[in-house]
Amino acid sequence: MKHDVASMSNADVGKAFNAIAKGIGRNDLGEILFNWNESQLNEEGDKIVGYPGRDGVYSRGKEGGKVYISKRGFLEWLISDKPFDEKVYGANIRNDAQWTGLIERARVTVSNKILIKGLIKIPTLDQSIERMKQEILADIKSGRVPADCPSFSALHDYVDANCYGGFCEDDLLQALVEHFGGRDENEGMSDDLMDYLNAAQNEIDTWLRSFSTK
């Protein structure tokens, strides 16, 4: 999924940026920022700063002064193809394992945080159930699942039934995890999310039992 940074709130932009700093570390983020536009983190590590017209490492005099640079602009650059623009970074930039690793690690952190609120609409229980039904019907039509499959548990004989409803899609699952309060102390799903998933599966089980007897 290509994330739409433009539609994010300023608060979510800040959260995504802070997640990168925490996820990959200040030094690695600093290296990415410097290669992006010769900017750097401020001392507190929560803002991007630049020194136009000056050498950002050795000289911080009055010429050019200090400016704050948009975190949104950085995120838009990060998830685009621009970090691998050969005109800027050289013809073999994609073969640079260190740079590729830095960018991919930062992107993974963003992917886990960006989608929280606003970019992925959290489906209602009814919407999830309806999507599950449509996906099951499609599998029945294709012959992947028999028309007389008697229960939700029986679906596992033919497919990974837990994936119906999009629940195996990383972006949607992560959004649901965040929506229902995050992971528990053992990195498992919250009780509220488990209740949501179980309610959807129970409804499908009832539907299949009636469906298979028709």
Is residue 53 scored above 70 in pLDDT? Answer: no
Q: Which residue has the higher pLDDT, 174 or 197?
A: 197
Residue 54 is predicted with a pLDDT of 53
Question: What HEC string does 183-204 produce?
Answer: CCCCCCCCHHHHHHHHHHHHHH
Give 101's pLDDT tier (boundaries 50, 70, 90): confident
Give 59's pLDDT tier (boundaries 50, 70, 90): very low
Give 113's pLDDT tier (boundaries 50, 70, 90): low
Residue 145 is predicted with a pLDDT of 95
* Strand order across the 67-69 sheet: 40-41, 48-50, 67-69
pLDDT in tens, 66-87: 899 999 999 999 988 999 999 9
The first and second tokens of residue 52, run together, are 């136009």
Q: Tell me the average pLDDT across 35-54.
A: 87
Q: Tell me the average pLDDT across 9-29.
A: 87
Which DSSP string corresponds to the chain?
A: ----GGGS-HHHHHHHHHHHHHHH-HHHHHHHHHHHHS-EE-TTSSSEEE-TTS-TTT---TTT--EEE-HHHHHHHHTSSGGG-HHHH-TTGGG-HHHHHHHHHHHHHHHHHHTTTTTSPPPPHHHHHHHHHHHHHHHHHHTSS-TT--SHHHHTTTS-GGGGGGTT-HHHHHHHHHHTT---TTS---HHHHHHHHHHHHHHHHHHHHHHT-
Q: What pTM does this model have?
A: 0.52
Q: What is the domain partition of the chain in residue ranges?
A: 5-114, 125-212
Nearest to 128 by CA among 79, 200, 181, 67: 200
Average pLDDT in the chain: 84
